[in-house]
């Protein structure tokens, strides 16, 4: 079909009710739209079928992961331009259903269906994991963690860099990713008040960076637990290479199965997003029980903004299907409430939202700079998942759609002495 781009653009704008903010390039080489804008490349008709059979974020993700849809030009500019059409629209697209009452829009929908080719839904890309319920049993959690983290340590070395820290860094002007990750680990240690000889439990220890830093810089004895076999093997080698096997133990273990408390402190950095709504109070109570009186918990966790009057958890379709199966985000107020219900005294909540946007942009740059090797280590589809997920997440943090918070909580003894200084933070003008 000649000039598929112009026809497709016209049909899409009739259905959406707004102009497309990007240039459109179709499978026949035709283009339509503002020449200075990034191009949304529709490589084949299958991309249309993916969007028609699963309107909204998930259909777009399937087209992107499979390579049927691409962006030419700056990815962040394109995602920003499309945000009002994707993440800020309802997944079930009620606006489209309403628009279909218009005969002209119905005609456009029929034309788009004809343009898409055979009315057969393409199968999802193999990188998609199918979820039915967020059970958060030990078995389903192991499966979810393996899906995300057992992608290959070499791949994560490309994305994360030498620090191998997969959580928000803590930036200062002129800093590097490595220095910012080191500063984040030191910030956690400072908030926990770690001193030589104490015992630290690092829940969701990843590749061992927090455990190594705490043992090396503060002389504590650390137990790190993860559900990922690949992470544990990598972390154990790092511990051995650092000569810290007498102070750091890495276990493949569910946090619910840790029974060798009490600990002086617990760090949970980027792990609690996996716990889920049904299990969060259990998670908080388990950590409370593992701390000695006066012990501190540093809970570093992504949060979402409340919607209207509700304050519950939210599951993102793309993230759940391709990135973090069974991951659930809650407002920070919900997290604080659950920690307090478990018995903790919450002493400090620090938002470091802007820091995560900076971190994600560095990770995206790392991935793009070694793209060929990254696709060889995993798959082109998996690398595309990570690129889209990290770039879109960076924009979500920048636009205040999601945040990240460090919550310092204490198992305060009955006599009420928290053990914290009267002034825990010093503010300076910026």
Q: Is residue 376 domain-shared with residue 243, that is, in the same domain?
A: yes
Q: What is the DSSP letter of 243?
A: T
Residue 127 has what pLDDT? 83
Q: Is residue 157 domain-shared with residue 86, that is, in the same domain?
A: no
Q: What is the pTM of this model?
A: 0.90
List the end-to-end C-alpha distance of the chain, in Å, as a whole number: 58
Beta strands per DSSP E along 286-401: 291-304, 345-351
The number of folded domains in the chain is 2
Q: Is residue 374 part of a domain?
A: yes
Positive or negative CA dihedral for 142, 147, 152, 158?
negative
Q: Is residue 215 domain-shared with residue 267, that is, in the same domain?
A: yes
Interval 401-429 mean pLDDT: 87
CA distance 363 to 158: 8
Q: What is the dihedral of CA 191, 193, 199, 200, to 10 degrees?
A: 10
Kind and range of the H or E element at 77? helix 75-82
Q: Is residue 378 domain-shared with residue 240, that is, in the same domain?
A: yes
Q: Is residue 392 part of a domain?
A: yes
Residues facing 321 on adjacent strands: none
Residues facing 248 on adjacent strands: 222
Interval 208-237 mean pLDDT: 97
Q: Is residue 127 part of a domain?
A: no
pLDDT level of residue 147 (50, 70, 90 thresholds): low
Lowest mean pLDDT among 84-93, 333-342, 356-365: 84-93
Q: Is residue 417 part of a domain?
A: no
pLDDT level of residue 133 (50, 70, 90 thresholds): low
CA distance 49 to 51: 5
Interval 349-357 mean pLDDT: 97
CA distance 291 to 268: 13
Residue 93 has what pLDDT? 45
Name the one residue in this structure whose structure tokens are 């997003």: 273
Q: Is residue 90 domain-shared with residue 169, that is, in the same domain?
A: no
The CA angle 16-19-23, to the nearest 5 degrees, is: 115
**CA Rg value for the chain:** 24
Q: Is residue 320 part of a domain?
A: yes
Which residue range forms the structural domain that includes residue 102?
4-116
Q: Is residue 277 domain-shared with residue 383, that is, in the same domain?
A: yes
Q: Is residue 111 domain-shared with residue 249, that is, in the same domain?
A: no
Q: Is residue 415 part of a domain?
A: no
Q: In the numeric block, which tokens belong to residue 354?
A: 């802007």
> What φ, ψ does residue 223 adopt, rounded to 5°?
-110, 120
Q: Is residue 326 part of a domain?
A: yes
Q: Is 94 a residue whose pLDDT tops 70?
A: no
In order of 211, 331, 342, the CA distances from 88 in angstroms are 39, 18, 35
Q: Is 272 a residue whose pLDDT tops 60?
A: yes
CATH number reported for the structural domain that contains residue 344 in this entry: 3.40.50.150
Sheet holding 291-304, edge to edge: 248-252, 221-226, 199-203, 263-269, 291-304, 402-410, 345-351
Q: Is residue 243 domain-shared with residue 378, that is, in the same domain?
A: yes
Q: Choose the final residue of a domain: 116, 150, 171.
A: 116
Q: Choose the final residue of a domain: 116, 148, 183.
A: 116
Q: Is residue 197 domain-shared with residue 301, that is, in the same domain?
A: yes
Count of CA atoms in the C-beta half-sphere (13 A) of 128: 18
Q: What is the DSSP letter of 378?
A: S
Measured from the Cβ of residue 224, the count of other Cβ atoms closer than 10 Å reads 30
Q: Is residue 381 domain-shared with residue 296, that is, in the same domain?
A: yes
Residues facing 267 on adjacent strands: 202, 298
151-187 pLDDT, tens digit each: 789 999 999 999 999 999 999 999 999 999 999 999 9
Q: Is residue 228 domain-shared with residue 331, that is, in the same domain?
A: yes
Q: Is residue 107 domain-shared with residue 143, that is, in the same domain?
A: no
Q: Choose the final residue of a domain: 82, 116, 150.
A: 116
CA distance 210 to 300: 12
Q: Is residue 123 part of a domain?
A: no
CA distance 178 to 176: 5
The CA angle 405-397-54, to the nearest 5 degrees, is: 120
Residue 307 has what pLDDT? 72
């Amino acid at each position: 079909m000649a000039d598929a781009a112009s026809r497709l653009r016209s049909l899409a704008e009739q259905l959406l009710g707004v102009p497309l903010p990007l240039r459109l390039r179709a499978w026949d080489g035709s283009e339509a739209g503002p020449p200075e804008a990034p191009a949304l490349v529709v490589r084949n008709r299958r991309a249309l079928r993916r969007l028609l059979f699963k309107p909204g974020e998930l259909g777009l993700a399937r087209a992107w992961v499979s390579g049927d849809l691409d962006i030419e030009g700056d990815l962040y500019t394109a995602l920003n331009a499309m945000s009002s059409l994707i993440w800020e629209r309802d997944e079930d697209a009620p606006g489209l259903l309403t628009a279909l009452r218009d005969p002209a829009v119905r005609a456009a929908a029929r034309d788009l269906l004809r343009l898409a080719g055979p009315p057969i839904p393409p199968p999802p890309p193999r990188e998609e994991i199918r979820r039915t319920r967020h059970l958060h049993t030990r078995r389903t959690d192991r499966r979810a963690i393996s899906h995300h983290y057992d992608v290959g340590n070499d791949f994560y070395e490309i994305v994360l860099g030498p620090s191998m820290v997969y959580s928000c860094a803590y930036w200062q002007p002129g800093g590097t990713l490595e220095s910012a990750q080191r500063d984040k680990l030191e910030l956690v240690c400072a908030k926990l008040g770690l001193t030589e000889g104490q015992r630290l439990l690092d829940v969701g220890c990843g590749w061992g960076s927090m455990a190594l830093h705490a043992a090396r810089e503060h002389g504590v004895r650390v137990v790190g637990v993860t559900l990922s076999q690949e992470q544990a093997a990598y972390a154990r080698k790092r511990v051995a290479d650092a000569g810290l096997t007498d102070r750091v133990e890495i276990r493949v273990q569910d946090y619910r199965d840790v029974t060798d408390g009490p600990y002086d402190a617990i760090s949970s950095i980027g792990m609690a997003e996996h716990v889920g709504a049904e299990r969060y109070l259990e998670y908080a109570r388990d950590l409370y029980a593992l701390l000695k009186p006066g012990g501190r918990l540093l809970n570093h966790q992504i949060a979402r903004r409340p919607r209207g009057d509700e304050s519950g958890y939210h599951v993102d379709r793309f993230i759940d299907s391709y990135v973090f199966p069974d991951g659930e985000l809650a407002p920070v107020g919900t997290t604080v409430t659950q920690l307090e219900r478990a018995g903790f005294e919450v002493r400090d909540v620090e938002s470091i939202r802007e820091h995560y946007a900076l971190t994600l942009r560095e990770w995206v740059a790392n991935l793009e700079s070694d793209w060929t090797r990254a696709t060889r280590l995993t798959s082109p589809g998996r690398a595309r998942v990570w690129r889209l997920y990290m770039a879109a997440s960076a924009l979500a943090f920048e636009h205040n759609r999601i945040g990240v918070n460090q919550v310092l909580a204490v198992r305060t003894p009955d006599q009420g002495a928290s053990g914290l200084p009267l002034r825990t933070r010093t503010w300076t003008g910026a």
